[in-house]
Structure 1
Amino acid sequence: MWIEVILSVPAEHTEDLSDALMEAGALSVAVEDEWADTDAEQPLYGEPGLEPTTNAWAQSRLVILVDPETGIDDMLDVACDAISMTVPAYETRKVEAQDWVRLTQSQFEPISITEHLWIVPTWHETEGNATRINLRLDPGLAFGTGSHPTTRLCLQWLSAELPKDATVLDYGCGSGILAIAAKKLGASKVIGTDIDPQAVQSAVDNASANDAAAQFVLPDGMSSGQYGVVVANILSNPLKLLAPALVGYVADGGHLVLSGILERQTNELIAAYAPYMPMHVWRADDGWICLVGQKTTSVN
């Protein structure tokens, strides 16, 4: 058994206190958004060509794992004194010893995207017939394992609408799942890009595990060119700012597929792209939408 200590700290103390707690005897320190799953939740994602405006939540929740023999008050006194901070209020909870690997794996079952497209963790046996595509993907550091509606929407569009032998750009590729799916679904050339080097490496590894010949690069490794399909599953604000750049990557007659958009943000996203390309809602899922447009003329 272990003990978790939970406390709240402002952004200016988060990193220093986390380091000080590790020095004072904590086994681990996890940092979470204090307002996660509320309207005040603050995303920290950066996208290709756009650095995040902040690298810390305004208020963070620290979840500190300690041995049951640890003197929690003493540990907090030492850590807070090291950074000249008053010890905040905290709560504790017991964590029973478990087989964490099996417990984690049990939370990730195969996901049916369509009848013929599945996301299958590597510890599961694959099933199906010659028409079923199984994407082998494990939860990891990079966003996108197929469980979130925004990822599902993009995968469903690729499964239903991807033109034969299309060239595809996955902009903000995360785990690479969309790029890998596009290649397995018949795309002729696929490139993914992300601002996070860990995401790029994760995508490379996932592509190799799926025998998918997709290329993944950091933004400065991107070459000029246009694609038959550009898919971007990121966030609404970056999508608005990136409108001219994303449309510029789309070849004449090509498609732009956008997700990471809440239903209430639909009109503002359509308006942001109106000067460059008409967009429409392709499908909605659990409060999220996928916007799609087709480029009919060159954009100067």
Structure 2
Amino acid sequence: MAWLQLKIDSSAENAESIGEMLSANGAQAVTFLDAKDTPIYEPKPGEVILWPDTQVVGLFDASDDMNAILSRLSKAKLLGKDFRYKLDPLEDKDWEREWMDNFHPMQFGERLWICPSWREVPDPDAVNVMLDPGLAFGTGTHPTTALCLRWLDGEDLSGKTVVDFGCGSGILALAALKLGAAKVIGIDIDPQALQASMENARRNQVEDRLSVYLPEDQPSLEADVVMANILSGPLLELRPVIRDYCRVGGKLVMSGILAELTPRIEEAYAQEFELDPSAIDGEWARVSGTRAR
């Protein structure tokens, strides 16, 4: 099937309304793009923040009457008859195959590999986590996840109890289980993340050692290892909660931290943790340590 992309420049304030208009006029999908390379950091959980200059992109079937659609859009008060747009043909491709081709097995540290199910495992004797990109965040491609995976690969997790705080796809939980953890407790505010974590655990045949909870249902426990790959804001706000999951002598690893905010996280957690040297990967950082008291 051939497609057309209709691109309209907008402000953050009007972007969602314009997207709704495109959907009402037959767009098969609507996406929002950064029109001027303006970074946005630290959205709160569940919060949608758009760029000050946002490009709204609607995907239309090439057989749609675009003249009629553009005429209707020009009558909307939000746009007006002189609104600026760009209409481009989109090459007809096997988009699913192209998407799949972008994901390859990835190695983290010496032992650990993350492998999509449609690829051959590079090293059958390695610690292989089978994980496909899905609804929840975390496939190993983002530096924050990679930082945590490399840390896990260097740890002895044999027989340990681990908490994955903000488990997302379950990638860190699965890696910990494959690396020898006795059990992992995954916690996330998103029910879809919990579902994804358990589905991925079943695919890796470790579901009997993974338990998942919403924050309001999370159990009281002290773990040997606590992982929190979230954002620096929640890491600061939830410090008492994260701390209490970690037993004295237990280990903590955190990421999702902008490198420039690393000193704030270190200062907050140094009160009760002996911290390791923080690791930096591009714009992102990992902070880890051992609970001292």
Indicate how the Cα distance of structure 1 residues 292 and 80 shifts in structure 2: closer, same or farther if over 3 A, else same.
farther
Aligned to 2:62: 68
CA RMSD across the alignment: 2.2
Distance 1:185 1:97 in 2: 43
SS in 1 for 2:50: coil
**Residue 95 (structure 1) aligned to one of 82, 90, 94:** 90
Aligned to 1:49: none
Counterpart of 2:43 in structure 1: which amino acid?
L
Query: Retained in 1: the 8 A contact 2:28–2:61?
Result: yes
Shift of 1:35: 5.5
Shift of 1:152: 1.2
**Residue 196 (structure 2) aligned to one of 191, 194, 202:** 202
Aligned to 1:55: 48
Indicate how the Cα distance of structure 1 residues 282 and 162 shifts in structure 2: closer, same or farther if over 3 A, else same.
farther
Aligned to 1:126: 121
Distance 1:241 1:80 in 2: 46
Higher mean displacement: 70-79 or 245-254: 70-79
Aligned to 2:21: 20
So what's the TM-score if we normalise by structure 2? 0.89
Distance 2:71 2:188 in 1: 41
Higher mean displacement: 135-144 or 21-30: 21-30
Aligned to 1:2: 3
Counterpart of 2:5 in structure 1: which amino acid?
E
Aligned to 1:172: 166
Query: Retained in 2: the 8 A contact 1:17–1:80?
Result: no
Aligned to 1:224: 220
Counterpart of 1:266 in structure 2: which amino acid?
T
Unmatched segments (≥5 aa) in structure 1: 47-51
Shift of 1:81: 4.8
**Residue 129 (structure 2) aligned to one of 110, 126, 135:** 135
Deviations 1:245-291 (A, max 9, x none): 21111111101101112322221211122333343334332342211
So what's the TM-score if we normalise by structure 1? 0.87
Query: Retained in 2: the 8 A contact 1:23–1:79?
Result: no
Distance 2:34 2:246 in 1: 36
Indicate how the Cα distance of structure 1 residues 272 and 34 shifts in structure 2: closer, same or farther if over 3 A, else same.
farther
SS in 2 for 1:182: helix
Shift of 1:135: 0.7
Counterpart of 1:44 in structure 2: which amino acid?
P
Aligned to 1:29: 30
Distance 1:231 1:142 in 2: 17
Indicate how the Cα distance of structure 1 residues 79 and 170 shifts in structure 2: closer, same or farther if over 3 A, else same.
farther
Distance 2:200 2:178 in 1: 13
**Residue 236 (structure 1) aligned to one of 223, 232, 247:** 232
Unmatched segments (≥5 aa) in structure 2: none
Distance 2:74 2:250 in 1: 56
Aligned to 1:41: 40
Deviations 1:102-146 (A, max 9, x none): 10111001111123211110101224243x111111111211101
Aligned to 2:184: 190
Higher mean displacement: 60-69 or 225-234: 60-69
Moved over 4 A (4+): 33-36, 79-82
